[in-house]
C-alpha cells in the first residue's frame, strides 16, 4: 500500500502511524503534501518538530499548540488535553491529527507514557490520529520491550525508500521541474542517470545537486545543463 492510501486509512480508522526512513528522503514533506488534500472541515492538523524534551515538557508544547490551559501537574495537563480532543471529536465531529517529527529523538519516558495518555474511554475508541516520523533507527527503539504498549497501538508502519528505478526517478525529476514552471527538462538522460547514481535516489541530495548545477549552468550561459557542468556541480559538493 502506498503512503497516500495509508494516510487515508488511518484517518478513517484513527490510530498511530509510524513513518521512517533515512535522512533526506522527504518523509515529513510527503505527509504534509498528502494532508493538503484532506478536508480541513473534518480534520485539524498539528505539526510538532521539537522533540528533544522530557515527557512533561512535550505535553506542555502540545497544550500550547492546541490552545489548551497549561498546568504544572501532569494529570491536570493530560485531562485538559484529553477534554479538548474529546470536544473536537464528539462535538465538532473533527478528528485531530498530530504529526510528530524527529520521533527517534523522543524521550524514552514520553514513549512509555504515550500509550497511557491515549487511553480514551477505556480503549473503546481512538479520538486522534498520530503520525510518528523519524529516522530508521526509531524502529529499533520501538522493538525494545519497554515500548511494547505503544508498539501494539501502531496500525500503519511505512518505511520510505530511495528511488532506484530510472524511469520512476526521471518522472520524479520531471515533476519537480514542472512544479517550478519548467515543463521541458534542462538535462538529458545521461545527466539524470548521473544524478541518480550520485544521490542514491535521496530527494534532498537530488535537490542540492540540481540547484548547484542550475547555478553553474546559468553562470556558463547554458540553456541545458552540460555533462561537464553537472560533474563540476557534484565535485564541489561535500
Q: Which CATH architecture has domain 166-235?
A: Orthogonal Bundle (1.10)
pLDDT for residue 215: 94
pLDDT in the model for residue 35 = 86
Where along the chain do its domains lie? 3-159, 166-235
Amino acid 138: pLDDT: 93
pLDDT value at position 219? 94
- C-alpha cell belonging to residue 77: 495537563
Q: How far from 118 is each of 102, 110, 124, 172, CA to CA, in Å?
A: 20, 12, 11, 38
| Nearest 10 degrees: Cα torsion 143, 148, 152, 153 | -100
CA-to-CA distance for 137 and 141, rounded, in angstroms?
7
Residues 6+ apart with CB under 8 A from 4: 34
CA distances from 66 to 5, 47, 88 (A): 27, 11, 11
What pairing do the DSSP bridges indicate for beta strands 43-48 and 154-159? unpaired
* pLDDT in the model for residue 120: 67
At residue 59, the pLDDT reads 85
**44 vs 46: CA distance, rounded Å:** 7
Count CB-CB contacts under 10 A for residue 221. 6
Give yes or no for a contact between 20 and 139, defined as CB atoms under 8 angstroms apart. Answer: yes
**pLDDT computed for residue 125 by the predictor:** 64
Return the CATH superfamily for domain 3-159.
Answer: P-loop containing nucleotide triphosphate hydrolases (3.40.50.300)
Query: In whole angstroms, how far apart are CA 142 and each of 66, 101, 139?
Result: 27, 15, 5
pLDDT means per 10 residues, the chain with 238 residues, are 87 92 90 87 86 79 86 89 86 87 89 83 70 92 90 92 94 90 90 95 93 94 93 89
Listed in sequence order, the DSSP H helices in the chain are 3-12, 27-35, 55-66, 74-86, 108-117, 137-142, 148-151, 166-179, 189-199, 203-219, 227-235
Q: What is the reported pLDDT for 199?
A: 94
| Cβ-contact 187, 211 below 8 angstroms | no
- In this prediction, residue 66 carries a pLDDT of 84
Backbone angles phi, psi at 114, to 5 degrees: -55, -40
Bridge partners for 132 per DSSP: 18, 100
Amino acid at each position: 500500500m502506498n503512503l497516500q492510501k495509508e494516510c487515508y486509512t488511518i484517518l478513517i480508522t484513527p490510530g498511530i502511524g509510524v513513518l521512517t526512513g533515512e535522512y533526506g528522503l522527504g518523509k515529513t514533506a510527503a505527509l504534509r503534501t498528502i494532508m493538503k488534500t484532506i478536508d480541513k472541515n473534518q480534520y485539524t492538523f498539528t505539526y510538532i518538530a521539537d522533540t528533544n524534551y522530557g515527557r512533561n515538557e512535550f505535553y506542555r508544547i502540545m497544550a500550547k499548540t492546541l490552545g489548551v490551559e497549561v498546568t504544572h501537574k501532569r494529570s491536570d495537563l493530560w485531562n485538559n488535553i484529553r477534554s479538548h480532543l474529546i470536544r473536537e471529536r464528539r462535538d465538532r465531529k473533527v478528528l485531530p491529527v498530530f504529526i510528530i517529527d524527529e520521533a527517534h529523538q523522543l524521550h524514552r519516558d514520553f514513549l512509555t507514557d504515550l500509550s497511557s495518555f491515549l487511553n480514551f474511554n477505556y480503549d473503546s475508541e481512538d479520538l486522534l490520529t498520530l503520525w510518528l516520523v523519524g529516522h530508521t533507527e526509531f524502529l529499533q527503539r520501538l522493538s525494545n520491550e519497554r515500548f511494547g504498549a505503544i508498539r501494539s497501538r501502531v496500525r500503519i508502519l511505512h518505511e520510505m525508500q530511495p528511488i532506484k528505478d530510472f524511469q520512476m526517478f526521471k518522472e520524479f525529476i520531471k515533476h519537480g521541474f514542472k512544479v517550478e514552471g519548467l515543463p521541458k527538462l534542462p538535462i538529458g538522460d545521461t545527466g539524470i542517470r548521473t544524478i541518480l547514481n550520485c544521490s542514491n535516489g535521496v530527494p534532498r541530495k537530488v535537490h542540492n545537486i540540481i540547484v548547484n548545477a542550475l547555478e553553474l549552468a546559468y553562470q556558463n550561459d547554458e540553456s541545458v545543463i552540460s555533462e561537464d557542468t553537472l560533474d563540476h556541480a557534484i565535485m564541489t559538493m561535500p
